[in-house]
């Protein structure tokens, strides 16, 4: 019910608290000074002062993806808001629930090119799930609560609330979340019963089935992963996991074929190519996964669970769409599967598993270790082996190291793996790790970084120090923008145009200058010690792992190729040169 | 593309700032076609507007367009009139023709056939008001061209389902 008069800023903070927010990642400026004044006067909300607004959004993403809660950002108008755009786009592509509060010039100045005015709602319209400009005091409580409802329900995503300074300074009545029901946005969560029956029928009669598991399972919450694991084990069918889905199904389970896609596992991609029934749970047929669309899993009937109807039949025609929340729909499928008491075609399934085992025996992640230099694969493999029994969270930057991390680090649980998948944002990993560490102060949080990406949000080193966050940066330092170099080698005749970073900082000295601990390993013999020392150090650490410079990431499906045209290693040549069509793909 | 279809889609939206930009941005951002788009408030008490959009695309694209529209937060309802049974659509145009002598008489004669009304005239010009299907308007404007067509203003398509059901 309406209560006493409060300032707009107080209403904003009260709404955050009532929405269960405990932490805000932000940076002050003229337009949001009233909110900062209100923050000064309270102690329910913790404010984490970032070093650049772009970092704030990635921190909120890391916080959100490791907790399942909405991440919250507070930035000023104009440059504060425009700096947040990359993070917002990242959160949109990867379906991360974020509410970003932006300051705005007072309503009477909007449109006048006032100091630090930007058309924030205009700029962020295509990179948010929804956005609001609050022009009237009475709207403020409703908009604040709606923003959280929109960010977290259905397919989650970023929401911007643009707050003119006169609204923040004005007075109005507050009203709690219980008083608002959104009048149009109420996405359904349960799939159609008829479609469930159809899906179970297809699954029961499958001869070469495959689960294709995506980030939607993780977004749905930990219960969805449990149900998925139950269903996969009940059926005995194999499962492959996308980059965003890592951890949704335990990597150590014998039924897990690992990641699929461009740098996915040989057995996963060939199983995708050869399956006759595909059960897509919360994945979106991304082009990194499908390869050449015309030859993507050509012989399969496709079941697709997705909460977003626009993901269904977007790239790949689907036979049985199940529109709803992954966890709910998996519950429906489990019940229907048990009720049907299916008698699977064991002979066919055995043959299918035998084929999969044959692909598996190719051991596509094997690599030749070196006695003189650290192989990046080795570095990540050892990092995994020496941290696997710990309470560990991993973030990454973007590039080869990211793909190696996805291949060699094994995840048994959801919410442990944070990477920029859809947008591929270099500079994501360090701030994301800080956000994760804020939410899990006692856990081991490691950013598996490339040296080029790491520099993109390097200013956040000092944020970690200010809040005593012991994040670890495990820098796979190959001195190259390795992934760019790899594409130039494979697609551009080895013309390495601008992909070498000639004047890298000394990361150990950089660490020290920023009050981090700096470590370095350059020889394979030093690797384990460096990893152990990194873990044992109380505060934040940069471990500069100087690796083999020109290692390429395999397996790889060359652009424009199909799953069965995978390259397993450096000695394999593609069957055909990359087509012109393939060359134009990103 | 050979299997391209033309669809008329009605979208019921909250009449709030930016809603039209959201819809138009969706079409431009994802590369969909807009043949015509009209919008006006239709329910002031509930602050609801109705957008009628005529678009073309393959059946898969048309499905995408509807799904993408439907997931916009201020969208209440998306109806594909082309798919959902009989409907009527009308467009209105104001057509200015500058002509004298025989051509002036001819323009009036054609206007009469098309049930267009002259709503402004000078000694040398008319403004005709005509409504009907897009094709009818195209035909009328085509016939006016050689007679001295000066200017055309069209509203775009408004459409509604036949029968007694509402949106
Ligand atoms: C912001 C941004 N700019 C450019 C790119 C294109 N890009 C993808 S990977 C990459 C190189 C990354 O180098 P590094 O961080 O050292 O990782 P490595 O591939 O060497 O492991 C670049 C430039 C990107 N993904 N993001
Ligand atoms: Mg590098």
Residues 79-108 of chain B with CB under 8 A from chain A are none
What local confidence, expressed as pLDDT, does residue A575 receive? 67
Nearest CA in chain A to B62: A314
Cα of A343 from ligand 2 centre, angstroms: 51
What local confidence, expressed as pLDDT, does residue A560 receive? 85
All residues of chain B having their beta carbon less than 8 Å from the beta carbon of residue A126 are: 25, 29
Q: Mark out the alpha helices in A479-523 (DSSP H runs).
A: 482-491, 507-513
What local confidence, expressed as pLDDT, does residue A577 receive? 75
- Is A4 a residue whose pLDDT tops 80? no
Distance CA B21, CA B76 (A): 16
pTM: 0.96
- Confidence category of residue A582, pLDDT binned at 50, 70, 90: confident
Q: Output the ligand 1 site: residues, CB below 6 A.
A: A 397-401, 424-426, 450-453, 476, 478, 480-484
Mean of pLDDT over chain A: 96
- Is B149 a residue whose pLDDT tops 90? yes
- Is B128 a residue whose pLDDT tops 50? yes
Distance CA A568, CA A265 (A): 9
- Is A69 a residue whose pLDDT tops 60? yes
**Hey, are the CB atoms on B71 and A317 less than 8 Å from each other?**
no
Cα of A455 from ligand 2 centre, angstroms: 11
Q: Please choose, from the candidates A77, A81, A37, the residue with its C-alpha nearest in 3D space to the C-alpha of residue A56.
A: A81
Selecting from B25, B63, B75 the residue whose C-beta is nearest the C-beta of A126 gives: B25
What local confidence, expressed as pLDDT, does residue A572 receive? 79
Residue with the nearest Cα to atom 5 of ligand 1?
A426
State the maximum Cα–Cα separation within chain A, in Å, rounded to a whole number.
Answer: 74
C-beta separation of A394 from A418 below 8 A = yes
Cα of A546 from ligand 2 centre, angstroms: 10
How close, in Å, is residue B74 to chain A by CA atoms?
6
C-beta separation of A98 from A71 below 8 A = yes
Which of ligand 1's atoms lies nearest the C-alpha of A86?
1
- Confidence category of residue A455, pLDDT binned at 50, 70, 90: very high
How close, in Å, is residue A164 to chain B by CA atoms?
15
What local confidence, expressed as pLDDT, does residue A586 receive? 81
Residue B67 in contact with partner chain A when CB distance is under 8 A: yes
**Hey, are the CB atoms on A313 and B63 less than 8 Å from each other?**
yes
What local confidence, expressed as pLDDT, does residue A585 receive? 82
What are A132-165's pLDDT values in tens digits? 999 999 999 999 999 999 999 999 999 999 999 9
Say what angle helices A193-204 and A326-340 make with each other, to 10 degrees. 60
Q: At A60, phi and psi to the nearest 5?
A: -60, -35
What local confidence, expressed as pLDDT, does residue A1 receive? 46
Strand partners, A517: A541
All residues of chain A having their beta carbon less than 8 Å from the beta carbon of residue B17 are: 133, 135
**Is residue A374 left, alpha or beta, with left meaning phi > 0 and alpha meaning psi from -120 to 50?**
beta
C-beta separation of A137 from A172 below 8 A = yes
Q: Is the ipTM of this complex over 0.85?
A: yes
C-beta separation of B21 from B29 below 8 A = no
- Confidence category of residue A204, pLDDT binned at 50, 70, 90: very high
How close, in Å, is residue B24 to chain A by CA atoms?
11
Residue B22 in contact with partner chain A when CB distance is under 8 A: yes
**Hey, are the CB atoms on B17 and A309 less than 8 Å from each other?**
no
Answer with the residue of higher pLDDT: A20 or B167: A20
What are A234-259's pLDDT values in tens digits? 999 999 999 999 999 999 999 999 99
Residues of A labelled as active-site residues? 53, 115-116, 165, 483
Torsion angle in degrees (nearest 10) through CA of A317, A320, A322, A326: -80
* Cα–Cα separations (whole angstroms), residue A321 to A195, A199, A278, A543, B108: 7, 9, 12, 46, 57
C-beta separation of A302 from A318 below 8 A = yes
* Residue among A314, A315, A317 with most chain B CBs within 10 A, to mutate: A314
- The predicted model gives A5-9 an average pLDDT of 96
* Percent of chain A at pLDDT exceeding 70: 99
What are the b/e assignments for A355-392, b being 16+ CB within 10 Å? ebeebbeeebbebeeeeebbbbbbbbbbbbeebeeeeb
Selecting from B21, B67, B73 the residue whose C-beta is nearest the C-beta of A185 gives: B73
C-alpha A194: how far from chain center: 33
C-beta separation of B52 from B80 below 8 A = no
**Is residue A326 left, alpha or beta, with left meaning phi > 0 and alpha meaning psi from -120 to 50?**
alpha
- The predicted model gives A36-41 an average pLDDT of 97
Residue B33 in contact with partner chain A when CB distance is under 8 A: no
What local confidence, expressed as pLDDT, does residue A584 receive? 86
Which of ligand 1's atoms lies nearest the C-alpha of A450?
15
- Is B1 a residue whose pLDDT tops 70? no
Distance CA A243, CA A213 (A): 9
C-beta separation of A482 from A450 below 8 A = yes
How close, in Å, is residue A185 to chain B by CA atoms?
6
**Hey, are the CB atoms on A312 and B67 less than 8 Å from each other?**
yes
What are A556-574's pLDDT values in tens digits? 998 889 999 999 988 877 6
SS3 call for A443: coil
Residue A130 in contact with partner chain B when CB distance is under 8 A: yes
Which of ligand 1's atoms lies nearest the C-alpha of A480?
20
What local confidence, expressed as pLDDT, does residue A450 receive? 98
Peptide bond into A48 cis (omega under 30): no
- Is B152 a residue whose pLDDT tops 50? yes
């Amino acid at each position: 019910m309406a209560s006493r008069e409060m300032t707009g800023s107080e209403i904003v903070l009260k709404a955050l608290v009532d929405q269960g927010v405990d932490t805000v990642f932000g940076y002050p400026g003229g337009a949001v000074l009233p909110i900062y004044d209100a923050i000064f006067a309270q102690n329910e909300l913790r404010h984490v002062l970032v070093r650049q607004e772009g970092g704030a959004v990635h921190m909120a993403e890391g916080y959100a993806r490791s907790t399942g809660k909405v991440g919250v950002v507070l930035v000023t108008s104009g440059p504060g808001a425009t700096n947040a755009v990359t993070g917002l786009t990242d959160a949109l592509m990867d379906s991360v629930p974020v509410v970003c509060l932006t300051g705005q010039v007072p309503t009477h100045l909007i449109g006048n090119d006032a100091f630090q005015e930007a058309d924030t709602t205009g700029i962020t319209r295509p990179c948010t799930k929804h956005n609001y400009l609050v022009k009237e005091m009475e709207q403020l409580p409703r908009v604040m609560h709606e923003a959280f409802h929109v960010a977290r329900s259905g397919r989650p995503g970023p929401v911007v609330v643009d707050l003119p300074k006169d609204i923040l300074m004005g007075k109005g009545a507050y009203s709690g979340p219980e008083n608002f029901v959104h009048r149009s946005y109420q996405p359904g969560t349960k799939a159609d019963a008829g479609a469930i029956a159809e899906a179970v029928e297809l699954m029961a009669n499958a001869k070469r089935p495959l689960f294709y598991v995506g980030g939607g399972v993780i977004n749905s919450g930990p219960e969805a992963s449990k149900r998925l694991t139950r269903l996969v084990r009940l059926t005995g069918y194999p499962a492959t996991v996308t980059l965003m889905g890592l951890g949704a199904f335990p990597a150590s389970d014998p039924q897990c074929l690992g990641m699929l896609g461009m740098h996915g596992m040989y057995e996963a991609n060939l199983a995708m190519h050869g399956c006759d029934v595909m059960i897509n749970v919360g994945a979106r047929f991304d082009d990194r996964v499908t390869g050449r669309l015309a030859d993507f899993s050509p012989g399969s009937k496709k079941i697709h669970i997705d909460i977003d109807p626009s993901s269904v039949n977007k790239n790949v025609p689907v036979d049985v769409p199940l529109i709803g929340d992954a966890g709910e729909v998996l519950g429906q499928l489990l019940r229907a599967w048990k009720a049907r008491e299916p008698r699977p075609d064991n002979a066919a399934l055995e043959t299918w598993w035998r084929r999969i085992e044959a692909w598996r025996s190719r051991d596509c992640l094997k690599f030749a270790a070196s006695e003189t230099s650290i192989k990046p694969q080795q570095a990540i493999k050892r990092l995994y082996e020496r941290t696997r029994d710990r309470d560990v969270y991993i973030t990454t930057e973007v590039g080869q190291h990211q793909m190696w991390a996805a291949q060699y680090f094994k995840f048994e649980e959801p919410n442990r793996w944070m990477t920029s998948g859809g947008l591929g944002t270099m500079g994501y990993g360090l701030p994301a790790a800080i956000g994760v560490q804020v939410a899990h102060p006692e856990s081991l949080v490691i950013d598996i970084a490339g040296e080029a990406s790491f520099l993109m949000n390097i200013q956040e080193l000092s944020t970690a120090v200010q809040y005593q966050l012991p994040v670890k940066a495990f820098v796979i330092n190959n001195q190259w923008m390795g992934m760019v170099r790899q594409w130039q080698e494979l697609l551009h005749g080895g013309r390495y145009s601008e992909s070498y970073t000639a004047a890298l900082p000394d990361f150990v000295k950089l660490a020290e200058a920023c009050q981090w601990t700096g470590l370095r390993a350059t020889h394979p013999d030093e690797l384990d010690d460096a990893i152990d020392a990194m873990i044992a150090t109380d505060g934040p650490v940069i471990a500069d792992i100087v690796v083999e410079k020109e290692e390429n990431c395999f397996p790889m499906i060359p652009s424009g190729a199909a799953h069965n045209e995978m390259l397993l290693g450096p000695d394999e040549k593609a069957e055909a040169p990359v087509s012109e069509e393939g060359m134009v793909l990103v | 593309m050979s299997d391209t279809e033309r669809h008329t889609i009605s979208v019921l939206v909250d009449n709030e700032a930016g809603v039209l930009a959201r819809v138009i941005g969706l079409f431009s951002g994802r590369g969909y076609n807009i043949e015509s788009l009209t919008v006006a408030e239709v329910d002031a008490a509930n602050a609801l507007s109705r957008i009628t959009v005529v678009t073309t695309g393959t059946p898969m694209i048309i499905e995408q367009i509807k799904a993408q529209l439907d997931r916009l937060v201020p969208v209440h309802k998306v109806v594909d009139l082309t798919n959902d049974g009989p409907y009527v659509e009308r467009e209105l145009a104001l057509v200015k023709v500058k002509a004298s002598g025989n051509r002036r008489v001819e323009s009036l004669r054609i206007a009469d056939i098309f049930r267009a009304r002259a709503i402004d005239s000078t000694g040398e010009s008319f403004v005709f008001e005509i409504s009907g299907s897009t094709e009818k308007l195209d035909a009328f404007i085509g016939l006016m061209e050689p007679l001295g067509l000066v200017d055309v203003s069209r509203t775009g398509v408004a459409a509604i389902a036949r029968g007694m059901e509402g949106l």
